[in-house]
Structure 1
Amino acid sequence: MKCLTTLLLIFGFTLNIFADTVSDKEKDALIKLYYATNGSQWKIKWDLSLSVSTWYGVQVENGKVTALNLGDNNLEGQLPSEFFDLVNLTSVDLHKNKLQGQLPKAINNFKELEVLDISLNQLSGAIPETICDLQKLRDLELSKNKISGELPVEIGKLNQLEVLSLFDNEIEGQLPNSIYKIPALKVLLLNSNKFSGSLSGEVVNFNALQNLSLFNNGFEGEIPKGLEKLHNLSEMNLSYNKFAGGVSKNLALLDALNMTMFDENGNMFLLELNAEKENTVIIEN
């Protein structure tokens, strides 16, 4: 009996060792990340002599690196190409650091990724089209960077996306038609960019939308009436654009800045409220 107990303990210990061990390729990718982002100056550093599973912010499951949480840890520099060898990642949180450079096309290596948060950094360049290959992505947060260019045309392929947060960047152009094909979208934050063009009537497809923020852009045309049909919408800000025409009282009440717009000369004005239609009952004698 004593021998059996000893064997079970050894077996369990061995399983833990193997569960704790990641491939050389993934370990090398993490080490390259550490050195490329000035690991010696991180707030919480890694002891590279210890097991990967002990490294701060690294989650290991069944011998695979599945999550990386290094938010607000003083990472600076560019993400090395080897970082994208971590193909088993489901969640990446690198927000509030000093990361620079452009997201590379190799982002599509992260086929299992569900959450990507690299907000509050210094990323630049355009969002690569290959990000649209991340079919499991639910949360994409790249706000407060220096991202430019236009949104990928096929962004609608991210049909599991619930949160798209890109505010405080330099993104321009019109919204791709495909964006209206994302049925799960709950939060759409595009404020403080350089977007232009009009909102499509297909905005009515955003059945799950709860928060819509487009303020401080160059959107124009009329505000689609379909917005009133979005019964889950509880927060909205469309102000500081070039929208024209009238708007319903219900929509105006949702907008925190009461639909303040810019005219062609850059002067501020308030959109007028549409007159409420009264139901007229005709009684025949």
Structure 2
Amino acid sequence: MKNIVTLLLIFAFSTSLLANIPNSEKNCLIKLYQATNGNNWDNKWDLKAPISTWYGVTIKNDHVVGINLSNNNLVGTLPVEITNLKNLEELNLFKNQISGKIPENIGNLKNLKELNLSFNKLTGAIPNSICELTHLNSLILFMNQLSGELPKQIGNLKELEVVSLFNNGLSGELPTTLYELKNLKELMLSSNNFSGHISWNVQNLKELQNLSLFDNKMDGQIPLALAKLDNLRNINLSYNSFSGTVPKVLAEKDDFDLTMKSESGIAYQLQVTNNAKGILAADE
């Protein structure tokens, strides 16, 4: 019996090596290799070997469905050809030295579930076409040099659970559609240049567990609706210009800090109240 199992495993492994990956997909991977100085990667690809042996590449049903090259010394830019991998579900290039812009047509990756380009040197705006990735579960772009506003139609991404964009140069008000992401669990936007208020529509984010808006330029009053989010455990709104008082039930959440800063950079403390009814709504 053991011999039969061994033979089956060998057959399955051999079949995977002979997977008939389309040349178009292979060429896309080679473009990525060339554009990010593949010869100096920590884990290189042997371009003469079967694609199924290439480090960080996942194949399913003879198509490339995953690329995970995190912390692998990729240096260069993202080639536009990568957006031709129509079956891609995961693109994880965390902690490399990738510069340039996110390809404008990244919305072509209709099956993408996880996009992690964090801890790189990316510049420019988040492309509007990202809002076409309707199966996206995680949008992770923190610690880059991204600028501009959040795409206004981000609310189209109904399956989003994680939005992590901290330590960039993003600006503008939070899009109203952001509050339509009812499956959102983490919203991490600290250390950017976001302005405006937190809408009372934040009460729609009933699955939210972690919220960080630390070190932005937001103002207005902190809506009581935040205190009504039963799953919210960690919240950091400090070093903005919020005003008014804070309900005690909210101030007792993990990571909550009452320290704010004025437009001139002077620090001040918000006051805590036991009377939740005294908290006014943020301007809408």
Whether the TM-score (by the shorter chain) exceeds 0.5 is yes
Structure 2: 5+ residue stretches without partners: 278-284
Separation in 2, partners of 1:238, 1:171: 16
Partner letter of residue 159 of structure 1? K
Separation in 1, partners of 2:34, 2:63: 21
Determine the structure 2 residue equivalent to 1:221: 220
Partner letter of residue 111 of structure 1? K
Indicate how the Cα distance of structure 1 residues 229 and 95 shifts in structure 2: closer, same or farther if over 3 A, else same: same
Residue 224 of structure 2 contacts residue 276 of structure 2 at CA under 8 Å; is this kept in 1?
no
Higher radius of gyration, 1 or 2: 1
Following TM superposition, by how much is the alpha carbon of 1:254 offset from its aligned partner in structure 2, in angstroms?
1.6
Residue pairs, 1:61-80, within 5 angstroms: 61-80=60-79
Partner letter of residue 59 of structure 1? T
Indicate how the Cα distance of structure 1 residues 262 and 19 shifts in structure 2: closer, same or farther if over 3 A, else same: same
Separation in 2, partners of 1:277, 1:102: 45
Partner letter of residue 186 of structure 1? K
Q: What whole-Å deviation, never above 9, does each CA across 1:27-53 have from its counterpart, x for those lacking one?
A: 000011101100000000001110000
Q: What whole-Å deviation, never above 9, does each CA across 1:183-219 have from its counterpart, x for those lacking one?
A: 0000000000000001100000010000000000000
Determine the structure 1 residue equivalent to 2:281: none
Indicate how the Cα distance of structure 1 residues 196 and 277 shifts in structure 2: closer, same or farther if over 3 A, else same: closer
Separation in 2, partners of 1:131, 1:110: 9
Asked if 1:104 corresponds to 2:103, the answer is yes
Indicate how the Cα distance of structure 1 residues 67 and 270 shifts in structure 2: closer, same or farther if over 3 A, else same: same
Separation in 1, partners of 2:88, 2:32: 14
Partner letter of residue 240 of structure 1? Y
Following TM superposition, by how much is the alpha carbon of 1:244 offset from its aligned partner in structure 2, in angstroms?
0.1
Determine the structure 1 residue equivalent to 2:179: 180
Separation in 1, partners of 2:162, 2:207: 11
Separation in 2, partners of 1:230, 1:48: 51
Q: What whole-Å deviation, never above 9, does each CA across 1:117-159 have from its counterpart, x for those lacking one?
A: 0000000000011000000000010000000000001010011
Residue 23 of structure 1 contacts residue 64 of structure 1 at CA under 8 Å; is this kept in 2?
yes
Secondary structure class of the residue paired with 1:208 = coil
Aligned length: 270
Residue pairs, 1:1-285, within 5 angstroms: 16=15, 20-254=19-253, 256=255, 258-276=257-275
Residue 238 of structure 1 contacts residue 255 of structure 1 at CA under 8 Å; is this kept in 2?
no
Secondary structure class of the residue paired with 2:195 = strand
Partner letter of residue 19 of structure 2? D
Residue 21 of structure 1 contacts residue 52 of structure 1 at CA under 8 Å; is this kept in 2?
no
Following TM superposition, by how much is the alpha carbon of 1:14 offset from its aligned partner in structure 2, in angstroms?
11
- Structure 1 range deviating more: 131-140 or 80-89: 80-89
Partner letter of residue 231 of structure 1? D
Residue 70 of structure 2 contacts residue 96 of structure 2 at CA under 8 Å; is this kept in 1?
yes
Following TM superposition, by how much is the alpha carbon of 1:57 offset from its aligned partner in structure 2, in angstroms?
0.2
Following TM superposition, by how much is the alpha carbon of 1:245 offset from its aligned partner in structure 2, in angstroms?
0.3
CA RMSD of aligned residues (A): 2.0
Partner letter of residue 240 of structure 2? N
Q: What is the TM-score normalised by the length of structure 2?
A: 0.91
Structure 1: 5+ residue stretches without partners: 279-285
Separation in 1, partners of 2:163, 2:88: 19
Separation in 2, partners of 1:260, 1:13: 59
Following TM superposition, by how much is the alpha carbon of 1:275 offset from its aligned partner in structure 2, in angstroms?
3.8
Partner letter of residue 67 of structure 1? G
Residue 83 of structure 2 contacts residue 105 of structure 2 at CA under 8 Å; is this kept in 1?
yes
Secondary structure class of the residue paired with 2:184 = coil
Following TM superposition, by how much is the alpha carbon of 1:18 offset from its aligned partner in structure 2, in angstroms?
8.3
